[in-house]
Each structure stands twice: as structure tokens, then as C-alpha cells.
């Protein structure tokens, strides 16, 4: 008995497009409603045998437009978006995507002729923009289209009131993404209209009620109110709420970028240091070193960073003219074993100090800490001054690649091995190269095709 699932016979739902307006709308809505079960994961082999005929639905929408049933078009598009987002996931067919795309264009084309007021038309567009999860709004440039629509002050107030109503409906919900999107529209429309006096209270409310502190910080910095922005970041950095702490990290980065843009690098360096310390288990230091060098303080900061990676301790005060930012967050992730040789090696590499790279490599090699770096990235930096260690790094890289290579596919390791022979020739140690190839042959003798591969790099 074959275990292969039976091939599903899928056919499009057929219908006749009536000339009667009400019957036509009902027919289109029925076309959109297939498959009926679209509120969760659908097992296509068991429950779905009807393909939604959106092409016929779009044809019906054009017919409704010619019959001047403009409000019906809006209702149909709303239903199509509600169903279509899920249906596309089920059938994985681009035809549905393009048909929804065409439906949006038709509805927007006739929107001005609907019975909706200008303010309600704007709200309908925003609702449509947020309802669509398929990316049509980006393709159609819907956001810029909405912003360019002319509104009188009274119409704008009506739109803002409508957005406020939608925001309040989302109040208290655990995940406030929908509220965030409506609030973003509210903010952008007020900003576009020059309503600065209303923006600050609005940003504060959304920050405190929906954790949207980044919008508040961005607004304050846009108006050069750095100290106020910093106080807000400091406040949420002291919170125990995980979401507030996540926002604090985001806002801290916004502060740092603002300071860098303004050229006040001595204030930006301590914030970059906070980022580095927050992820203590991460060895990456290039951003911190780059900013310190740009600010001219790397020579005084280097001992601080090295000591932290050796002992895990920081001085009570940073060396003058630097000061701690006061925006530090709890450590994120595991605390590494100290000394953290991987990080120390990467600091010396980012600082372009080959002697220090070798110093930390020597200690790393005899430690129990895993050697989990792409050493092929660092070997070239040692080829001129420390060729023996460059050879060792190329060997580690080659052995790592060969250990995971599938039988017969050894090119990844070969790429690293080919870098080793010229270095042995430079050191007049060609015999050691041949000895090493013999060792590799013993280590990987169980891999099919390895013995035949090895002479290619010899």
C-alpha cells in the first residue's frame, strides 16, 4: 500500500455574475468566502477542495463600479482582505496576490465617489492599509497617497478623532501592535499639520500606556531636547519590566546615534560601552573600538576593556574626560568564563596588534575554552609577523571545515589548506607540510574519497 498522499483535485468555484446589483454583491462575497475554513492552519489534503475564484470576484467588482455601487466595492475589499491574507498562505499562489492587488486599485479608484465623507474616506484608507498583510500597500505607495490627500482643518480633526477612537478600542490589550500602528498614523498626521503642542502629550501617553518610548525619545531629540530624552531613558532603564528594558536598549541606541550625529563623541562612548557590557557574552568589540578611536580615547579605554575581559571588573570611574552614562541595563545572556580569551583575541585583532593577538592565542590554546571562531578571517593578519601562528590558524580552520564536510566534498577545507604550503615554504619547512598531510590522512581516513582528495592540495 502506498503511503503517498492522494493528489488533490482542486477546482475553481464557478458562478454567474448577475446584472442585479444586490445579487452581484452577494455572489462576489460568496466567491471570496471559499475556502470557508480560513481561521487557522488548514490541512489541504483533508479540508480544502475549492480554490477561491478571486479573478471572477475582481471582474464582478469592475462590473459593480460601472453600475455605480461604490460602497459595495469597499465592503467587498474589506472581506477580500480579511480572507485573502490567510488564503494566500494556504494555496501559495501568486494569482491570489495579484487579484487582491487589482481589487485594492479598483476600490481606491472609486473611493471618492462613495457616500463616505472625506474624513471617513481617509480612515477607511488607513484601516485598509493596516488590514492588508500582503505588502500591496507598499507596492501601491498607499502611505504617500494617503498623506497627500488634502483635508480641511475640520476634516483633519475628524480623522484624528476617528484614530483616537480606534486607539482607545485597543487599550488594555496584551499585544499593542495594532494600537501602535494607529498611533503612528495619528502622530504623523499631527506632525504633518504642524500640531507640535499636541505631539508631546500624545507621545508621553503612548509611551506610558503602550511602551512606545522610542517615539517619545525621537520626538524630543528632533526638537533638540536631549536632557529630557535622556531622563526618560534613564527612568525606563531602572524598570524591572522586560518590555520597558527592551525599549530602554532601543532608546539608548537612538541617543547614541543622536550624539554621534551632533559630534559629541565623548558622551556617545559611554553609551556604546553600555551596549558592549549588556551583552557580556558577546566577544564583538569593533563598534566600541571604532568609536573610541574616533573620539581619541581608545588608549585610555583599552585597559578598562581588557581588565573587564580578564577579571570581569570595571573601575568606579571611567578615566577622564569620560563618565559613565547612567543608562546601563542588566546583563543579557550567559556570563563567559574568565579570562574571556575569545573576546581578548578579538580586541587585539580589531586594534590591529599582531603581538597581542599571539599573546592571547597562546593562552587560549592551553585553556579549556572552545576555539569557536572563523580563524581564517584572522590568519592573514599574522602571516607577515607571526607565520607560525598564521599556519596554526589556517590548520584550525581547515580541520574544522573537513570535520563537517560530507563525503567527497572537501573543497571548503582545501581552500584553507592551500594557504598553508606557501607559509611553510617561506619558513623553509616543506617537510613539516608533508608530515601534516600525513596526519590529516590518518585523522580523516574514514571519510570516503579523502585519500584521493589529499594529493590535489599537496
Contact between residue 201 and residue 216 where contact means Cβ atoms under 8 Å apart: no
With cut-offs at 50, 70 and 90, classify the pLDDT of residue 150.
confident
| pLDDT given for residue 52 in this prediction | 64
With cut-offs at 50, 70 and 90, classify the pLDDT of residue 354.
very high
Mean pLDDT along residues 9-31 = 64
| pLDDT given for residue 176 in this prediction | 74
Q: Which residues contact 223 (CB under 8 A, 6 or more apart)?
A: 196
The three cell numbers of residue 264 are 559629541
Percentage of the chain lying above the pLDDT 90 cut = 56
| Buried/exposed code over 177-191 (b: 16+ C-beta within 10 A; e: otherwise) | eebbbbbebbbebbe
Checking if the pLDDT of 39 tops 50, the result is no
| pLDDT given for residue 50 in this prediction | 52
| pLDDT given for residue 34 in this prediction | 60
Checking if the pLDDT of 402 tops 70, the result is yes
Coil, helix or strand at residue 444: coil
Q: Where are the domains of the chain?
A: 10-115, 264-373, 379-456
Mean pLDDT along residues 134-146 = 69
Contact between residue 346 and residue 284 where contact means Cβ atoms under 8 Å apart: yes
Mean pLDDT along residues 331-336 = 82
Mean pLDDT along residues 85-112 = 75
With cut-offs at 50, 70 and 90, classify the pLDDT of residue 10.
very low
| pLDDT given for residue 9 in this prediction | 38
Checking if the pLDDT of 40 tops 60, the result is no
Q: Which residues contact 124 (CB under 8 A, 6 or more apart)?
A: 74, 111, 116
How far apart, in whole angstroms, are the C-alpha atoms of residue 138 and residue 119? 22
Checking if the pLDDT of 43 tops 60, the result is no
Comparison of pLDDT for 55 and 219, the residue scoring more: 219
The separation between the first and the last C-alpha atoms of the chain, rounded to the nearest angstrom, is 53
Element (DSSP H or E) covering residue 360: helix 354-366
| pLDDT given for residue 319 in this prediction | 95
Contact between residue 430 and residue 409 where contact means Cβ atoms under 8 Å apart: no
| Tens-place pLDDT, residues 191-212 | 999 999 999 999 999 999 999 9
Candidate ranges 43-57, 79-93, 222-236, 268-282; pick with highest mean pLDDT: 222-236
The residue among 245, 151, 136 whose CA lies nearest residue 189 is 151
Q: In whole numbers, what is the pLDDT of the chain averaged over residues?
A: 85
| pLDDT given for residue 222 in this prediction | 95
How far apart, in whole angstroms, are the C-alpha atoms of residue 327 and residue 349? 28
φ, ψ at 12 (rounded to 5°):
-75, 145
The three cell numbers of residue 363 are 593562552
Checking if the pLDDT of 384 tops 90, the result is yes
Contact between residue 275 and residue 327 where contact means Cβ atoms under 8 Å apart: no
CA distances from 90 to 48, 79, 102, 154 (A): 9, 17, 20, 44
| pLDDT given for residue 352 in this prediction | 93
Mean pLDDT along residues 186-193 = 92
Strand bridging mode 50-51 / 11-12: parallel
362 backbone φψ class: left, alpha, beta (φ>0; ψ -120 to 50)? alpha
With cut-offs at 50, 70 and 90, classify the pLDDT of residue 383.
very high
Least confident segment among 4-18, 325-339, 429-443? 4-18
Amino acid at each position: 500500500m502506498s503511503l503517498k498522499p492522494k493528489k488533490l483535485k482542486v477546482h475553481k468555484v464557478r458562478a454567474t455574475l448577475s446584472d442585479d446589483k444586490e445579487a452581484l454583491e452577494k455572489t462576489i462575497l460568496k466567491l471570496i468566502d471559499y475556502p470557508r475554513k480560513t481561521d487557522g492552519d488548514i490541512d489541504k489534503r483533508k479540508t480544502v477542495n475549492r480554490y477561491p475564484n478571486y479573478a471572477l470576484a475582481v471582474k464582478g467588482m469592475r462590473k459593480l463600479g460601472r453600475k455605480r455601487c461604490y460602497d459595495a466595492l469597499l465592503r467587498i475589499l474589506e472581506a477580500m482582505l480579511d480572507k485573502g491574507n490567510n488564503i494566500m498562505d494556504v494555496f501559495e499562489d501568486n494569482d491570489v496576490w495579484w487579484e487582491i492587488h487589482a481589487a485594492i486599485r479598483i476600490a481606491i479608484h472609486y473611493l471618492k465617489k462613495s457616500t463616505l465623507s472625506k474624513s471617513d474616506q481617509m480612515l477607511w484608507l488607513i484601516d485598509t492599509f493596516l488590514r492588508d498583510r500582503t505588502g500591496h500597500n507598499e507596492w501601491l505607495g498607499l502611505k504617500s497617497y494617503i498623506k497627500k490627500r488634502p483635508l480641511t482643518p475640520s476634516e483633519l480633526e475628524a480623522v484624528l478623532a476617528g484614530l483616537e477612537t480606534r486607539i482607545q478600542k485597543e487599550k488594555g490589550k496584551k499585544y499593542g501592535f495594532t494600537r501602535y500602528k494607529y498611533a503612528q498614523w495619528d502622530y504623523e498626521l499631527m506632525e504633518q499639520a504642524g500640531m507640535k503642542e499636541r505631539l508631546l502629550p500624545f507621545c508621553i501617553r503612548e509611551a506610558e500606556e503602550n511602551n512606545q518610548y522610542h517615539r517619545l525619545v525621537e520626538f524630543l531629540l528632533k526638537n533638540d531636547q536631549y536632557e529630557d530624552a535622556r531622563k526618560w531613558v534613564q527612568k525606563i532603564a531602572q524598570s524591572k519590566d522586560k518590555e520597558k528594558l527592551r525599549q530602554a536598549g532601543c532608546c539608548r541606541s537612538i541617543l547614541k546615534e543622536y550624539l554621534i550625529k551632533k559630534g559629541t563623541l565623548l558622551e556617545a562612548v559611554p553609551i556604546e560601552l553600555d551596549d558592549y557590557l549588556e551583552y557580556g557574552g558577546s566577544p564583538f568589540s569593533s563598534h566600541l573600538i571604532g568609536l573610541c578611536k574616533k573620539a581619541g580615547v581608545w588608549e585610555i579605554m583599552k585597559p578598562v576593556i581588557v581588565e573587564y575581559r580578564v577579571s570581569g571588573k570595571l573601575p568606579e570611574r571611567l578615566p577622564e574626560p569620560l563618565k559613565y552614562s547612567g543608562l546601563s541595563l542588566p546583563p543579557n545572556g550567559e556570563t563567559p568564563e574568565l579570562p574571556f580569551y575569545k573576546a581578548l583575541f578579538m580586541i587585539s585583532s580589531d586594534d590591529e596588534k599582531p603581538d597581542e593577538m599571539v599573546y592571547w592565542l597562546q593562552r587560549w590554546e592551553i585553556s579549556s575554552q572552545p576555539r569557536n571562531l572563523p580563524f581564517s578571517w584572522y590568519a592573514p593578519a599574522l602571516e607577515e609577523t607571526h607565520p607560525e601562528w598564521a599556519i596554526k590558524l589556517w590548520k584550525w580552520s581547515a580541520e574544522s571545515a573537513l570535520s563537517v564536510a560530507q563525503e567527497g566534498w572537501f573543497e571548503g577545507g582545501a581552500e584553507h589548506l592551500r594557504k598553508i604550503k606557501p607559509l611553510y615554504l617561506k619558513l623553509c619547512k616543506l617537510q613539516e607540510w608533508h608530515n601534516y598531510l600525513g596526519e590529516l590522512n590518518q585523522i580523516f581516513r574514514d571519510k570516503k574519497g579523502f585519500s584521493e582528495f589529499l594529493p590535489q592540495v599537496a
